[in-house]
Amino acid sequence: MAADLILTNGVVHTVDAARSVREAVAVADGRIVAVGSASEVAELAGPGTRTVDVEGGMVLPGFQDAHCHLAMGGYERTLCDLSESRGSQEHLRRIGEYAAANPDREWILGGGWSMSDFPGGIPTRQQLDAVVADRPVILPNSDYHGAWANTRALELAGIGRDTPDPFGGRIERDQHGEPVGMLQESAMGLVLDLAPKPGAEQRAAGLRTAQEYYHRLGITACQDATVEPDYQDTYERLARSGELTLRVRGNLSWNPTLGDEQLDQLIERRLSGTVGRLTCGNVKFFHDGVVENRTAAMLDPYLDAAGAPTGEYGIDQYRLEELARHVARCDAAGFGTHIHAIGDRAVRESLDVLERAAAANGRRDARHQLAHVQFAHRDDIPRFRSLGVIANVTPLWARLESYIAELTIPFISPAAAAMIYPFGSILRAGGALAFGSDWTVSTPDPLHQLATAVARADPETRSDQPLLPDERLDLGSAIAAQTIGAAYASFLDDTTGSIEPGKLADLVVLDRDLFELPPAGYLEAGVRLTLSAGETVYAAPGW
């Protein structure tokens, strides 16, 4: 059978078990039919074959993002987007300009600001009031574990001096007990639940925008880590119409305010959410928060500014027995679970919970995963392999940036600081790694992810001290985590994630071979083509 498409004269890194490197790949009916030398694959050319000379470029399996917030992120980019803003004054300027340009919006929504832009990571309502006082403003930060609100928003939510902290959250207060305008973790919901939600067309437009962005980066599949029912409707709509060209595994959120009865609803959503390139087979839980606001669950107590133990160990989003029960029931129903676990205590307890679920229900190919794994005790590293739990990690964060140097290391124990983002340790112990960006928290660009995983430093500045250099990954292992490893986490490894005959032709063509470059050079590489089942979903000018 003649090929529909041949990519030739390239460096084809197949990411197969042997990490084979070839020169050409042939595609027919959306699948890979041959991989080999240029002359071997040329024999499959026919009258209708499109042959593309990639001119020494690198051909890889399409990149996959194992943890992102694609649909919600696409919508939020249409709001007051602070993700490209730097510094408190620029944030406030942009917020004021957005409010002036949108006088008919009853609420000012958006977010994406960095905690490192404010002393102690805590902005105030008075700062927001100075630019928008007549309308409620609520702006989650870049990691979505805290939100900045103005006085009007706090008033609408009835948040005052006597308002108790909700379970799993904290209202930041001044020395007099008055709310300062920063809401941590579940406390965000006190205001966000009152804010208007996007309509169907707004959600669809945002998802189309996000999908186009991902394809430009060479991404062909992702795992959306938090899919609420309205965004699932949007996914299903685009999947049925054929507009969804990304392969998406949706994670359905477990709502801690509801009871066990929601499992039946999730089972129904799993059924309707299996259409086209969409599957909804995971349930998402949050075990803890983040270190920067002292809500990550740690084994050792947090330290104060003088380095003394505080007696704080973080905030649990669930009582442990409740989390264990929920996870076991989801496991018994055939769901994979995706647990946000930042702190080393959260990682240990999440592994305990998954071990208990396996003991109760029997071991199966569940592919449960822990998201982020910023810290892990050395004793827990081998458990990823023994329990078959995937470490779903964001390599871009494994660098000595301000979040780590100023808001993390000074406030945790030396033992915890010695095990920050232990990617190398997990891999050496035989654990499975999958790379996820957590976009919109950080860039989804796979080339940035790969460069940081290999360098353990900011590839753009080229001057940072490496963060725990023993935890570096070699480029081959990093590419595997961004392709076949991420595919494994989404149950796509049988059909994608490597370049092998019979698999879908989800491919990316780069303009240079990354193996010939230092990590900083990866950022200079460009995506020429992105293919989904052999169809071009992105082409650089001239390609």
Q: What is the pTM of this model?
A: 0.88
By DSSP bridging, strand 507-510 and strand 58-61 are antiparallel
Of 445 and 406, which is predicted with more confidence?
445
Among 52, 9, 58, residue whose Cα is nearest residue 542: 52
pLDDT (tens digit per residue) in 299-322: 999 999 999 999 999 989 889 999
35-39: average pLDDT: 97
By percentage, how much of the chain surpasses pLDDT 70?
Answer: 99
Q: Which range among 21-30, 252-261, 319-328 shows the weakest confidence by mean pLDDT? A: 252-261
User: CA 166: distance to chain centroid?
Assistant: 26
CA–CA distance, 15 with 493 (Å, rounded to integer): 11
Tokens at 171, concatenated: 């209202």
Q: Give, for 214, the enclosing helix (H) or strand (E).
A: helix 200-216
Tokens at 510, concatenated: 């780069």
**pLDDT the model gives residue 73:** 87
- Beta strands, E only, 114-232: 137-140, 146-149, 169-173, 179-185, 219-227
185 forms beta bridges with 169
CA–CA distance, 76 with 144 (Å, rounded to integer): 12
The CATH class that applies to domain 75-192 reads: alpha beta
Protein fold of 315-473: TIM Barrel (3.20.20)
CA–CA distance, 509 with 54 (Å, rounded to integer): 8
- Mean of per-residue pLDDT scores for the chain: 94
Residues 6+ apart with CB under 8 A from 53: 8, 9
pLDDT at position 462 over 70: no
Protein fold of 5-62+503-539: Urease, subunit C; domain 1 (2.30.40)
By percentage, how much of the chain surpasses pLDDT 90?
Answer: 84
Domain ranges of the chain: 5-62+503-539, 75-192, 315-473
Among 265, 278, 303, residue whose Cα is nearest residue 222: 278
CA–CA distance, 161 with 176 (Å, rounded to integer): 8
pLDDT (tens digit per residue) in 327-379: 999 999 999 999 999 999 999 999 999 999 999 999 999 999 999 999 999 99
pLDDT at position 52 over 90: yes
Among 85, 86, 140, residue whose Cα is nearest residue 108: 140
